[in-house]
Chains A and B, each alone.
Chain A
Amino acid sequence: MSKLTITLSSKKIPTGTPLVIDLLDASLNQMWRGSVLVNEPYPLSLVLRAGDYVVVVGLPSGQDVPILFYLADEDISAIEVSLPPALERVGRAASSATSRWAYSASHLDNVWIRLWSRDAARPWRVQRWTVSVKDAGDGSLRGEFEADKLPVGQHYLQIGSGSSQPRMTAIPAGRASFVLRPVARYNNDEAAGLPVDIEIDAGTTEAQVLLGYLTNGDLERAQVIGKDVLVPRISGDRRLDPTTAVLSAYYCLACRDFERLTQLVDYLSQWKNSLPDYAVIAAWKSFRQDPPAVEVGRDFLLEAVRCGIPIYTRGLRLLTDGLRMVEDDRDLCNDNVRRAGNRLRQFAQMADWRPPFTTFSAVHPNKPINPRGGIHWLSDARRAASDPLSYFPWASTEGEEREEPISSAEAGEEISAAFSRAFARPPGLQSTRSAEMAYEAFQKDLTNLFEAAS
């Protein structure tokens, strides 16, 4: 008997995307489960008799798609099952969240988005960038930018709208794009919130599929992708991008695959100065190994806080939890731990724990703010612009006037940096340039999404 292969064909999902399928017999009894690559034959180590069978395709969007096929002859060597086009969607969003939504001017009016970056040695700056926003055809908007040209470092996409509090979402360096969807629901508390949610697509297709399964609570399929697809790549591929490597490491940490975790921690160490997730993962590996190395783990947690905020929400949770546990341990806690814990909690308290990539309300990446109010963002900024000294007493205009005109690029950089400092610098520290100039620059650099989309 010839070797049987199965091909899952799709016109919409890219070739090579790994998806988990179940093969059932006619009485719906599970015969096999595994991952196959879309549009590529997969050898099945099964002997099938002639008859009806069912393939259930688990999409990372949360849908299960059952497809019936009839095997006419047991000598057939290749089976092909096709995904119904209407059901093909590989994205993470749960099926009902966007089904009846179409973007409109009312959703996007006043919505703006900007890109913040820093490397390990420099302060945060607003990046000049070009973003193209397109209607993705499924009720969402897709934004593309040259993310692969971002330097190694930390990056946030910040979105804002009207008087709502702006929100930062971490993006990794490397291939990344974003999708805007309407917020899942409104209630009275959320009336002043942002009208759209941002979803980041980053890393390899395999990583995105794993993240999709995890986001929708599909633990069983996440484990198949992790075990069959991601984990084998860890050993062989020394060019794994940081997003995929970090996600793989969190996966190995959750299932305590210490052998591969050790390889990944070693691999991730090349980004140890710019990727806080590295130290978070290394810390928890130290805590969970046998015997645990708790002092080493504690020091990694401190290193993570020094480096910044993890890019994955899972990392923020692990860092917050780890520091709490260390603070509760009399032998491990010290002033550095307490200080790091206090600093981290400023972010964790303002975090949105829903998205997979770390998200928190903030005017500036160093200054998380209350998502439900506190300062009223735009009106405050306007007042700050008109009277910076009274509003930001630590921002100063004295002796800062320039006599010679400067180029727009030069002005942009200086103004952006000044704005950053005006919002980020705690009172009592070094004075900065004019907050007014900074505010003007901030306004100029906004990318209005409605304009971009139309």
Chain B
Amino acid sequence: MKKLFFEGIESKDQPLLHALIIGIDHYPYLGPKGIARKLPPLDNLSSPSISANALASWLVEHKSWLSDAKLGSVDLIVAPVPPAGHAPKALAGSLETIGEAFDGWFDRCNTNTQNVALFYFCGHGLQKDNLLLLAENFGSVKNAPWMHAIDFDATYRGMSNCSAQTQYFIIDACRQWSQGLLQDLNTSGVSLLRADIRNQRPRTAVKLYGAASSLAAFGDTSGKPSRLARAVLACFEGKAAMKANGKWCVGVDRIGQAAQLLIEVGNRSLPTEQHQVINPAIGEFAVGNRTLLVLPDGIHPSALVEFDCDPNEATEYAQFYHRGIDPKTKKRGSVCTGAWSDELLAGIYDCGATITQHRHFKSKLLPHEIIIPPVRQVRVGPCTRRLEKGH
């Protein structure tokens, strides 16, 4: 467990953001040995600890971006796979470690109704009636493997007893079934806190799942954070921003939708079997929206812009370009023909497609296209050439 940043906890009047960030790569009891014991057919991962580190570091490095709730604490639990040949150390991501960190996090969040509680888990997950998140020591007890799984739904319910009225839960884990899981009647994880039905406090508590029910979330084997972690960070950096009172702000109510659009754009360049379907499930919203981040002056958010033609058949013959009107930018274009995507600062642009020497399709300019985060599809058209008689 690593406490990256911690300040102002004594000041109960100051709203604070407290983050509990967990990334588990290492599952020593899974893999072939686990399969032989009829545990779910899962193995070690590589990106959860990277994703958790990236999110924690981002919060610390951008603490000045936080709105009214300043950064209170970031508790980081990472359990990377030990390098080959190294003896495994004590399990950093065990259920006991997570439980202890959770207790501290809950207590800190619980000090002020205006606090923000941010929970991130990246690792293995399994869905049945409840979503189970696997701790590093999952499977260590031979006849009771589920005692080291976290029952996320029960934990979410329990957090309704917390005073912090703004809560955000990001679950970057698969939600698949396994045959064994479905046949095992005794699957039930452990709640990290008991939900008191007599103490249901009002809260805005948003859930963002890295996978829709029964589907997989996707990590990255090239040393990058997971796709969802990257999307969330992009949202924090402005992809989920709206401009209000002259400031670009990121509110809790916009992150899920923006992350979903970013993931969908990523899916388009991937084979179908690698498509990720995230689920920005909305939980409770009893206290309305809350601005989490305010982008500093001088930081202008950008949007991912995808260009194609109307009709779509013209796209493969088109070279696309854009020129900024506000903000003013030079003309910039695609190198070759075909669909194109580019990252543009939010603003107003002239966009167009150049099509030369084609019988049916012609060039077209779209003046004054609005580009706003997170994603904008610019369909240039109509590009159909009106043919003269006799052609």
Please list the residues of chain A having a beta carbon within 8 angstroms of any beta carbon in chain B.
22, 24, 26-30, 52, 54, 56, 62-64, 66-68, 84, 86-87, 94-97, 184-187, 189-190, 214, 216-220, 222-223, 254-256, 287-288, 292, 294, 297, 317, 320-322, 324-326, 328-329, 332, 345, 348-354, 370-374
Contacts and interface: CB of A to CB of B under 8 A. Distances in A.
Interface stretch (B45-53, B221-229, B243-251): B243-251
A372 B182 contact: yes
Given A219-B206, A328-B194, 16 more contacts: A30-B244, A54-B372, A62-B261, A68-B370, A184-B215, A186-B273, A217-B257, A217-B279, A219-B254, A219-B289, A223-B285, A254-B284, A255-B286, A292-B197, A297-B197, A332-B197
A320 B129 contact: yes
Contacts of B244: 29-30
B253 A220 contact: yes
With most chain B CB atoms within 10 A of its CB, the pick from A28, A223, A373 is A28
Interface string B267-309: 1100011010101111111101100000000000000000000
Contact of A189 (B176, B213, B256, B282): B176
A132 B372 CA distance: 41
B379 A86 contact: yes
A324 B243 CA distance: 42
A219 B243 contact: no
A94 B264 contact: yes
Given A189-B176, A222-B282, A328-B195, A96 B216 contact: no
Contacts of A26: 326, 348
Interface string B345-370: 01110000000000000000000111
With most chain A CB atoms within 10 A of its CB, the pick from B130, B200, B252, B370 is B370
B115 interface: no
B63 interface: no
Interface of B: 127-130, 153-154, 157, 175-179, 182-183, 194-195, 197-198, 200, 202, 206, 208, 212-216, 242-246, 251-254, 256-257, 259-261, 264-265, 267-268, 272-273, 275, 277, 279-286, 288-289, 310, 326, 346-348, 368-372, 376-377, 379
A216 B214 CA distance: 18
A350 B185 CA distance: 12
Contacts, number: 177
Contacts of B245: 29
19 contacts: A24-B243, A29-B244, A52-B368, A64-B372, A95-B261, A96-B267, A97-B277, A185-B272, A186-B273, A219-B254, A255-B288, A288-B200, A321-B154, A324-B195, A325-B157, A328-B195, A345-B129, A349-B182, A372-B177
A354 B179 contact: no
B307 to A, nearest CB: 14
Nearest to A67: B370
With most chain A CB atoms within 10 A of its CB, the pick from B214, B251, B377 is B214
B326 A324 contact: no
Contacts of A222: 282
A351 B370 CA distance: 42
B182 A370 contact: yes
B44 to A, nearest CB: 19
Q: 3 nearest interchain CB pairs?
A: A217-B280, A217-B256, A348-B129
A86 B366 CA distance: 15
Contacts of A345: 129
A186 B272 CA distance: 7
Contacts of A348: 128-129
B129 A184 contact: no
Contacts of A186: 272-273
Contact of B372 (A28, A52, A287, A324): A28
Contact of B370 (A66, A187, A189, A217): A66
A96 B253 contact: no
Given A86-B379, A292-B200, A219 B282 contact: yes
Nearest to B205: A254
A292 B202 CA distance: 13
B257 A218 contact: yes
A275 B170 CA distance: 33
B381 to A, nearest CB: 8
Contacts of B286: 254-256
B157 A254 contact: no
B284 A321 contact: no
A218 B153 CA distance: 21
Contacts of A374: 182-183
B243 A29 contact: yes
B355 to A, nearest CB: 18
A296 B178 CA distance: 38
A132 B142 CA distance: 54
A352 B283 CA distance: 17
A26 B348 CA distance: 9
A218 B253 CA distance: 7
A22 B265 CA distance: 23
